[in-house]
Structure 1
Amino acid sequence: ISVVDAQPKYHVGQLLLIKVVAKDSKGRAKSHGGDFFRTKLLSTAPVMASTTGRVTDLNNGTYIARFKLSWPGNLSVSVQLTHSSEAVEVLKRIRDKVPKRRIMICGFMDEDTNNSEWTTCTNNVVKHVNLRDVCEFSKPTINVSFYCQRPKHPIHCASITACPRMKIITNTLFTPTSRNPESSMELSSKKHNIHLKFSFHHFPRNVNNAKKAAEVKQLTYVSEGIDDIVGGPNVVIIVGLWAHYMAEPMETFRSRVWGIRHAIERLHSRYPDTMVIWRTSNTNHHDKLFHFLENSDWYARQILLEVKKILKDLNVVILDVWEMSQSMWHNATLHPPKDVIKEHVNMLLSYICP
């Protein structure tokens, strides 16, 4: 790591360029790109501040990180290799070649015969599977696919009840009016004339640590929720869809986002002054091997880029929190600390109440 055209003193507003040369396990300079980095510029005095760098891959083993100097002080640079190019290739193969990495275990219950059975379910069905052997719960009109293995007992597909587990290959201003943490929550403030409604998205979702099974009939897809909303100038819709899709093929996530895009277009045709905000993915911790394989930063970053690509010409606010989470003063974590979430909310409110 070295400074490009180093100067004895820099001024606020200048660019600081950092050159990074990647090496292999034997210490030899690499001749190709594809490595995935986290970069950060930080200081503790006279102000405690941090920001991220924009990394350019020169595709020859060399990278340039660009930092805008926005405050005075003695600054430090942090460069972290999150995934080597070799690891990124493995992640790509897993994502693209293993369509059934996430398996949901769901229950079917025939109330007439009292027969019950648990079967495996997934958002993706492999090509060689006979569709007569599965129960299909797909909704093509909103770009959704979901399949379960058909029960062996004479139980109808419509008898699906709950999915309790997954296998992997309040603010004081508000008073709760109703709450079901596995599906939805509503909060109201008469003083501030605000009503909040939170709804959890449909599968895929991680429920292996849930206190109770996810009741299938209580879940709705984001597109369906948007279609049911009565919009207007005092209505704000916030979508945060990414974390539970990191263990899914990109095509699954892409199709859901297109379905949501179409729902937003339908909403704006009815209520053109409704604000829609999409909250992006953030950085994640990589403490264990499965974190790299299922919830890696590279997966999260690809999801963010896909969202921007699909929604780029739509009247939607992209609340990009990636750099904020990358530059925070905490260790990376899937669920950011409260002080970071506070800044997310502040940025959110800057769009709602400019």
Structure 2
Amino acid sequence: MCRSLSKYGIFFLFLALTGLIFLLRNIHTLESLNCRTVSTLYKLQSRIHSAFTPERTPPFYHNHTFCGHLGQKPSPEDELEERYLLDSIAWPEPLTRPMPPPLRQTSDPVHSLFAILPTKEGREWHVGDQLEVLVQMHDFQGRPKRYGGDFLLARLHSPELGAGVAGDVLDHRNGFYSAVFPLLWMGSALIEITLVHSSEAVAVLRRLREERPDRVFFKSLFRSGFLSETTLCNMCLPPDEQPLCNYTDPHTGEPWYCYKPKMLSCDTRINHAKGGYQKHLITNKEALLFQSGVNIKAHIHASGPDRINVLPPKKDQLGMESSSTKPEPIKVTPSGYYYGGSWRPLGGVTMRQFNDSSAITQCLRGKVINMYGDSTVRQWFEYLNAFVPELKEFNLHSPKNVGPFMAVDSTHNILLKYRCHGPPIRFSTVTSNELHYISNELDGLPGGPDTVVVLSIWAHFSTFPVEIYIRRLRHIRRALVRLLDRAPGTLVVIRSANLQAIDQEVSLYNSDWFSLQLNSVLRAMFKGLDILLVDAWQMSLAHHLPHALHPPPAIVKNMIDMLLSFVCPDKKKHQQN
């Protein structure tokens, strides 16, 4: 009897499931069902499907050419510029095969060393001279490397004086590197050479950048009534997987796609969010190239002294006559240096100190400050909003850390605004109608002498081929040219990329090597325009505090002082010029 009931039970369950599947597949024809019924049935379908299907992640694609056709076709001039920019950031490739070689044959900071090279006068240095350091890389077996491509950072600093300056590293492509520093202060100066990544690790990062633009993936929620679906989104998605929703910006041609929901239309998208990070991107052998404290941001020691004492300038360097031959000019000119903990720019503007809120208020009186970009410029908004009590943040009911944000000082007629840039943006959740491209925002500004524009756009492009970043900056540059043409008095300030703390996982998505390349492109693309730069790269490299994606307050304070020095230049200096 029980067996008979069991058989009938299985039979009726089969009929019920068959009917349910038929109902769900034809649910769009059942107009008589209300939204609540549709939602309940769809949720049941999702539960049944998820019980037998593993959690979906973006598929692995070895070839990134499916991204090549996206976006507007560049003009011949744009293609030429792109080729020039890509050539300018070309990185030496390791000569060894296969790649990667065994760890023992790769760059080891412990076995590597550097030495201070003497000047023509011997081991005596003066302010205005140039210090040169020679670095020789060795592998884990202690053998000299015979090829270049290592990513090194160089800093000259004095903890006692609160001084620091970034050095310029030259790759001789034979295992030797030169680090060159201008000598800008008297007293002690300590040399610090850091291996960020070995040449072999850089080769892995280059491959990931070109072949895996999906290693950070995104998602969007679609909703209509009680029915909702979430699908994968990205700058480029393989069209053969399933139908796509095309959200390409009509003004700039910037592409963005989502997989089309199964039961909803493309115009029901309500938000955008970071989906997550792809795992298992590298082999176990490649993972050995990314070990914190071993071959990621590890110091290289000196074979002899690592410190010099800088003497006062020589007489001829003070403008006095000298019978000796003139010294060689400084070959490397950084954007500035620290002394007494304060940034001192070299050329262009005199740095002012804005140590109290009243000074900032007076500087920004009557100004509209528009900040666009990523969280590193949002950090500036937060600093000013917190430091200046007269600025009152207006509640726009925006999500925390996402925006848009606005602060107002009605007494002094100050308006401070922040808005994140358009996709790709890795913030938690942004409503679809708040996804604005910077170039479109710039085209909507009237501009003028009371308008300040601050831009920071780099961190969210590290996982994509550089061509995508070039295209985005080109659109922004054209919009800035239009803005400056119609309103020549508009002040435009761009914040560059900065160094950050990295480990193995962060290296694969946000390595300083990616940021270095983007930073070089950024500087080249805006060179020659009436645009000012806050060199966050050198300001983070030259400072003694640890690197961080969002720099600590001491560095941010110097960046804000730099920005405000652009907005309110020193009157005496300005009159002299």
Cα root mean square deviation, aligned = 1.7
Contact 1:54-1:66 at 8 Å conserved across structures: yes
Cα distance in 1 between the residues matched to 2:467 and 2:159: 43
Alignment partner of 2:493 out of 277, 280, 283: 277
CA contact (8 A) 1:143 1:255 kept: no
Relative to structure 1, is the Cα distance of residues 249 and 157 closer, same or farther in structure 2, using a 3 angstrom cutoff? same
Task: Look up the match of 1:200.
Answer: 420
Equivalent residue, structure 1, for 2:393: 176
Indicate if the aligned counterparts of 1:183 and 1:219 stay in contact, CA closer than 8 A.
no
What pairs with 1:104-123 in structure 2 (closer than 5 Å)? 104-111=218-225, 114-123=226-235
Q: Which has the larger radius of gyration?
A: 2
Aligned to 2:187: 73
CA distance in 1, matches of 2:207, 2:551: 29
Secondary structure, counterpart of 1:281 in structure 2: coil
Is structure 2 residue 453 aligned with structure 1 residue 340? no
**d(CA) in 2 for partners of 1:239 and 1:76?**
34
The structure richer in strand per residue is 1
Q: Deviations over 1:110-155 (max 9, x none)?
A: 23xx3211100001234xx2497100101253141110011111x1
**2: CA distance between counterparts of 1:74 and 1:86?**
35
The correspondence for 1:103, drawn from 187, 211, 217, is: 217
Give secondary structure in 1 for the equivalent of 2:152: strand
Counterparts of 1:264 and 1:132, CA distance in 2: 38
One-letter amino acid matched to 2:155: K
**Other structure's SS at 2:188 match:** coil
1:22 to 137, 150, 167: 137
TM-score, scaled relative to structure 1: 0.92
Tell me which amino acid in the other structure corresponds to 1:161: I
Partner Cα distance (2:530, 2:542) in 1: 28
Distance, in Å, in 1 between the alignment partners of 2:142 and 2:507 is: 23
Which structure 1 residue ranges, 4+ long, deviate > 4 Å from structure 2? none
Cα displacement string for residues 149-199 of structure 1 (whole angstroms, at most 9, x for unaligned residues):
11111x110110123442122334211123424231111223443211111
Identity %: 31
Return the offset for 1:24.
2.0
Matched-pair contact (CA < 8 Å) for 1:240–1:279: yes
**Is residue 232–residue 273 contact of structure 1 (8 Å, CA) maintained in 2?**
yes
Equivalent-residue separation in structure 1 for 2:162 and 2:200 (angstroms): 36
**1:304-319 correspondence to structure 2 within 5 Å:** 304-319=519-534
For 2:386, what is the secondary structure of its paired residue? coil
Q: Which residue of 1 aligns with 2:471?
A: 255
Match of 1:160 among 269, 285, 290: 269
Q: Kindly indicate whether residue 361 of structure 2 is the aligned counterpart of residue 144 of structure 1.
A: no
1:322 aligned partner:
537
The 5-angstrom pairing of residues 87-98 of structure 1 reads: 87-98=201-212
Task: Note if contact 1:102-1:248 (Cα within 8 Å) is conserved in structure 2.
Answer: no
Aligned partners of 2:216 and 2:509 also within 8 Å: no
Distance 1:216 1:309 in 2: 32
Deviations 1:80-106 (A, max 9, x none): 000111111111111011222221121
Compared with structure 1, are the counterparts of its residues 266 and 132 closer, same or farther at alpha carbon in structure 2 (3 Å cutoff)? farther
Contact 2:404 2:417 in 1 (8 A): yes
Contact persistence 1:123–1:252 (CA under 8 A): no
Name the structure 1 match of 2:300: none
The question of 1:2 aligning with 2:115 is answered yes
Q: Assess if the C-alpha contact under 8 Å between 1:142 and 1:259 holds in 2.
A: yes
When normalised by structure 2's length, the TM-score is: 0.57
| Structure (1/2) with the larger helix percentage | 2
The yes-or-no answer on 1:186 pairing with 2:406 is: yes
SS at match of 1:298: helix
Aligned residues between the structures = 343
